[in-house]
Amino acid sequence: MMSTPTDSLPTRILRAANRAPVRVMLIASVLLALPAALMGALMALGRLGVNPAEILLRQPGSWSLQLLLLVLSVGPLRQALVMLSSWRLAQYGKRLSDWNWLMRLRRPIGLAAFFYALLHLTVYALLDLDGDWHELLDDLRDKRHVAAGMASVLLLVPLALTSTDAAMRLLKRHWKRLHTLVYPATLLALTHFVLLSKPGVRAPFVHGVLLAGLLCCSCWQRFFRSHPLMQTDGSVPERSAPPPTASS
């Protein structure tokens, strides 16, 4: 539907975002790369603080966990925006397909989460272990937080490798089943964070509550697929030109 002169500014912005998914994902990718760029600039200027190695190790892991939670929040956020638009009788946004641009953001966010997890692992291997892979094997055996973190990264590998349109076409319905691995990957990343945190720190509790809420939202969506507000209008927001399926 084309915008008209009477459309409100938010309506025009949302429609423009749906019409230009590549541009939206490009902007998102640039924003997601900013933390790494800023950290690299501070490192080059020698302004990472009194313990730069600790910053280099901790920050990418923290960003990865937060981005994984953000990936899981996109679906519930879209559902909430649809309900809010329907309640307010908004011009635009009352259908799930109106927010397809939001769902497309899961790809760059997920890839950024994998990148920061890989950066976290690389810094750990180079700075903490001095590249000694035998010591890594010892840590995997003796330290629970290392085992949980490594398991999370390994689960993210197939998700990153199958994030392309070609992989979606090849795997078809199996693609969505494969990408449910993001749930155990996030849980393991949170476990890694909890085991590393000092007693009394609130951040692990906050992250845990958020993950529990997102898991509840996911279960609610699965059990109430037949509700009118849960229909996707036949759209597949992960790609712009989906092939027809037997259910459409």
The mean pLDDT value for 101-117 works out to: 94
Band (pLDDT 50/70/90 cuts) for residue 240 is very low
pLDDT digits (tens, 9 = 90+) for 51-105: 898 999 999 999 999 999 999 999 889 888 888 888 877 777 788 888 888 888 9
Rounded to whole angstroms, how far apart are CA atoms 48 and 184? 32
Q: What percent of the chain has pLDDT over 90?
A: 52
This prediction has a pTM of 0.84
In the chain, where are the structural domains located?
9-227
- Who has greater pLDDT, 2 or 104? 104
Rounded to whole angstroms, how far apart are CA atoms 106 and 205? 24
- Who has greater pLDDT, 227 or 67? 67
Of residues 218, 111, 215, 221, the one with CA closest to residue 167: 111
Q: Given a cut of 50, is residue 244 above it in pLDDT?
A: no
Give residue 40's pLDDT: 93
pLDDT digits (tens, 9 = 90+) for 168-223: 999 988 999 999 999 999 999 999 999 998 888 889 999 999 999 999 988 877 66
Give residue 226's pLDDT: 53
Task: Give CB contacts under 8 A, 24+ apart, made by 174-182.
Answer: 181/155, 181/156, 182/68, 182/71, 182/72, 182/110, 182/155, 182/156
Give residue 223's pLDDT: 66
Q: Given a cut of 60, is residue 238 above it in pLDDT?
A: no
Band (pLDDT 50/70/90 cuts) for residue 232 is very low
Give residue 247's pLDDT: 43
Q: Given a cut of 70, is residue 230 above it in pLDDT?
A: no
Give residue 4's pLDDT: 52
Are 15 and 94 in contact by the 8 Å Cβ rule? The answer is: no
The mean pLDDT value for 99-117 works out to: 93
